[in-house]
Structure 1
Amino acid sequence: MPQETHPAIEVVMAVHNGADWLEQQVATIAAQTHRPSRLLVLNDGSSDGSGALLEQLEAAYGGWLQQLMPVPPGQPRGCVMSFAELLAATTAPYVALADQDDLWDPTKLANSLEMLLAAEARAARSGKPQPLLVHSDARLIDAFGQPLYASWWQRQGLAPPPRDLWHLAARNRVMGCTALLNRALLEAGLPIPHQAVLHDWWLALVAQRAHGLLQMPQATLSYRFHGANLSQPARWWQWPQRGWAVWRQWCALRQRFGDPQQPGDLWRLVRRRLRG
């Protein structure tokens, strides 16, 4: 198909002190076989050279890369609020989430869109738009681009896909940087509530509730593992706090869609979280 007949995709990216890898990542997004119509970026309080680099990239890509109003240096709001603002500013029928430091495979968007369009065609028979999110596995590389692990899912001990909504509610199993979602999901998931633990987790829950969480078995990008994004396991004294956050997110999901809360929901969620 000619490029102009392709459905429009926008990519959103929150940036915080990402100057070391940002230019490489933007280049892999621009080089997609299904090139997105726009890369929308929010500089979330960076104190390194990210701001100046983004201005250079904005000029170099001739308006294809666009910035929202940056957050003042040293005052980051965090990824949830940043991505919430970015997603609210999109207009395309399909939107992909991007980290600042990964390397996308050239066919990442094309392959994800193919799966999503097929699911939309199936859903169209019911006559009602279905919220959909496609996600995938990822390879892991180090700060210098050297391979670490062939599969993020295997390294994290995940058993994808989620067995049900409770399984996903207890533990996030979706890497947002691999995700492509449709407008129906944005309409259902936005605004992202303040109780959301992570923006990608929230969107995945909304998709799973609608039976619209789709999974590609192959890796579609190389996820850069470095000192700034290494997650530390929770200490025992942090368990109640993290558990409470998961519970509040679950309650927000129930409230968003008017689902009745059951007396045993809390213990059911705790059991699922302990099982992993």
Structure 2
Amino acid sequence: MATYNGRHFIEEQLNSIFPQLSAEDELIISDDHSTDGTWEFLLALAKKDPRIKLFQNDQQGLIKNFEHAIKQSSKAIIFLCDQDDVWHKDKVETTLIYFADPKTQVVVSDLIIVDNDFEVLVPSYQAMRHTHSGFWANLVKSSYIGAGMAFRSELKAVVLPIPKEVPMHDMWIGLLADYHNGVKFIPEQLVYYRRHGLNASEIKTTASRIQQFKWRWNAFQLVRKRIKEIKEKQQNHFSNNKHQV
């Protein structure tokens, strides 16, 4: 979870998460130096629950805050989490079922978009965005959304560090996994995605078409560069091991 001035919302989200965690699970929270009491609230909560692990980001914004949280994680499956949403009571259990397929690297659930009072604004994010997997389709129009995303920890070696030129962290993670057909969009609506005017991220961009094209072109170049780097590392590792035998 990445937090920033979310004191007004965060308790509802945490109350939806804790019942789904086992004693062995962890809740990584990276806070971007909140000034509204969020950090103090989390410090008090962490004293009561050892599963909560707190870290502070260096006020570098949303993407770097999520990157910082991802770096600290140590479990096999990583769930991304917004501070102001609410999880469905079966989110973890339902999502983990899809990771039974070893080819699946990322799972993205559907969301119900609601207002501050949880009145439904859009009953299905996936229907609104016409979501589906596929690298090229999502490069043109990204369907990835972090609030509904979970991924294998092995993917950390691929997605980290997140380049500063990437428009959003969820797009970066999704594209890298989808490059190898590793993303699965699931129909279950597992998150109440709250829109209240104070969100750090937005569903629809207000950027011009030229800017959007630049983002997509940069994203493509960055993904291709990262995939090349990973392949070179793998080849070097294989070559070194071969020489040692």
* TM-score under structure 2 length normalisation: 0.85
Aligned equivalents of 1:112, 1:168: Cα separation in 2 = 21
In the alignment, structure 2 segments of 5+ residues that lack a partner are: 230-245
Alignment-derived partner of residue 225 in structure 2: 255
Matched, 1:144 2:127: no
Alignment-derived partner of residue 241 in structure 1: 211
Equivalent AA in structure 1 for residue 135 of structure 2 = L
Aligned equivalents of 2:80, 2:170: Cα separation in 1 = 9
Matched, 1:213 2:183: yes
Aligned runs of 1:1-276 on 2, under 5 Å?
A: 13-32=1-20, 37-60=25-48, 62-71=49-58, 76-117=59-100, 119-120=101-102, 123=103, 132-154=105-127, 157-162=128-133, 164-229=134-199, 230=202, 233-234=205-206, 238-258=208-228
Aligned equivalents of 1:35, 1:24: Cα separation in 2 = 20
Equivalent AA in structure 1 for residue 81 of structure 2 = A
**Number of paired residues?**
227
In the alignment, structure 1 segments of 5+ residues that lack a partner are: 1-12, 124-130, 260-276
Q: Which ranges of 4 or more aligned residues in structure 1 deviate by more than 6 Å?
A: none
Q: Note the C-alpha offset of 1:96.
A: 0.5
- Give percent identity, aligned residues only: 24
Alpha-carbon spacing, 1:114–1:82, altered in 2? closer, same or farther (3 Å): same
Aligned equivalents of 1:160, 1:232: Cα separation in 2 = 14
Contact 2:57 2:68 in 1 (8 A): no
RMSD (CA atoms) = 2.0
**Which whole-Å deviations, capped at 9, do the CAs of 1:10-64 have from their partners, x for residues lacking one?**
xxx110111111011111110117677110111113221212211222123x221
